[in-house]
Amino acid sequence: MHLGELAMGLNNIRLGDYIERSTVNNSNLKYGEELIAGVNNTGVFTAPKGSTTGVNLKPYKIVQNGAFVYNPTRLDLGSIAYRTEGLCIVSHLYMIFYLTEEGKKIINPQWLLMYFRRIEFQREVTFRNFGSQRPEFNFEDMSDIIVPLPPLDIQQKYVAIYSAMLANQRSYEQGLEDLKQAVFSEIDIIKHSAPKVSVGELLEEIDVRNTTGTLTNVQGINIEKQFMPSVADTTSVNLKNYKIVQNGQFAYSSMQTGRDKCIRIALYDKDEPTLISPAYSVLQVKNTSAVAEYIMLWFSRPETDRYGWFASDASVRANLDLDRFYEIQIPLPDLDKQHSVANIYIAYMLRREINEQLKNQIKDICPVLIKGSIEEASA
């Protein structure tokens, strides 16, 4: 269906009639590794996690503003984004497409992005991949998508609502970043003035098991140093051997510190205890000379993660064993100063949690807005 064939209200269009694929690559090496980006499962462009030194950048694809970029093997998880932040380059495995000139006349790209950010679209991708030995949603599959398209003015009306919510969240996030910088500025002052003590002088390991089997909530730690629901299937696992973590205690993993360039430690702040794998260590503050939140703040710094990577062993997993972790030195000011900095950090963590809630609200509103625009066009 093309422009002259469109009705006044809702039109079911084949997406491939209004998009064009781009395969322009970085063959002349005009763009360097500082411009490498990827798309995560929340539909956000991110910097690469691992080292890109020595990577052949010639096959990398060039992404300009106005491009839709998606991972064909993870589209069903939400890995699609719309570029507005300037030029970048992405792996040759990504699919890139733009609206054609004809497409720009009838499709608001932000409306289309909202359309993609719905569980219904992810289900359609999964359905179309059903039976494939290696599920991969290529450009031809994307082109065959039938989109119930409202008129442009209705699209813009609902995009305006979405954009207002997004602007509010981003403004909040900027304030969050300012608060984070204030915390790190305090830490930089402390770093040059307070005496240093080893982690082993501040923390000790405890080992309390779920012997009664009453607890069933199993969690792990992500590279953001947050507790998260365990991704392992524990339905047939005996949880009596799992370790209990209480409020104010740390969970620590010695594994893969070097690989991820991240010291995996998290401070548990919930009232109800939780369980972690026996492979983790549970740590607690030894005495009243240190504040748990202050210690956690120190391990939230990229500089500390870099040191952990340097100190990790030479094994394939590049572990940071507990004994070596205990040797790390951190500056320890007086308790008043620790509490002062820790309070800022706690405020930062609370605001970060609110920010995540705002992001989830934006994600959840996409299906509602798309449904509303379609219903209005159908009326």
d(CA 326, CA 320): 10
- Tokens found for residue 61: 């694809």
Query: What's the pLDDT score for residue 349?
Result: 84
Query: What's the pLDDT score for residue 3?
Result: 54
* Cβ contact 263:325 at 8 Å: yes
Q: To which H or E segment does residue 335 belong?
A: helix 335-378
- Tokens found for residue 131: 């039976």
Which of 148, 233, 193 shows the shortest CA–CA distance to 332? 193
d(CA 321, CA 324): 5
Query: What's the pLDDT score for residue 134?
Result: 66
d(CA 241, CA 264): 21
At 13-27, the pLDDT tens digits run 999 999 999 999 999
Query: What's the pLDDT score for residue 315?
Result: 63
Would the pTM count as exceeding 0.75? no
At 45-75, the pLDDT tens digits run 999 877 788 899 999 999 999 999 999 999 9
Which of 201, 191, 173, 205 shows the shortest CA–CA distance to 297? 191
Query: What's the pLDDT score for residue 256?
Result: 77
Query: What's the pLDDT score for residue 314?
Result: 63
Which residue ranges of the chain lie beneath pLDDT 70?
1-7, 130-134, 314-317
Using only C-alpha atoms, the chain has a radius of gyration, in whole angstroms, of: 25
Between vectors from CA 218 to CA 349 and to CA 208, what angle results, nearest 5°? 95
Task: Work out the burial of residue 133: count CB atoms within 10 Å of its CB; fewer than 13 is exposed, 13-18 middle, 19 or more buried.
Answer: exposed
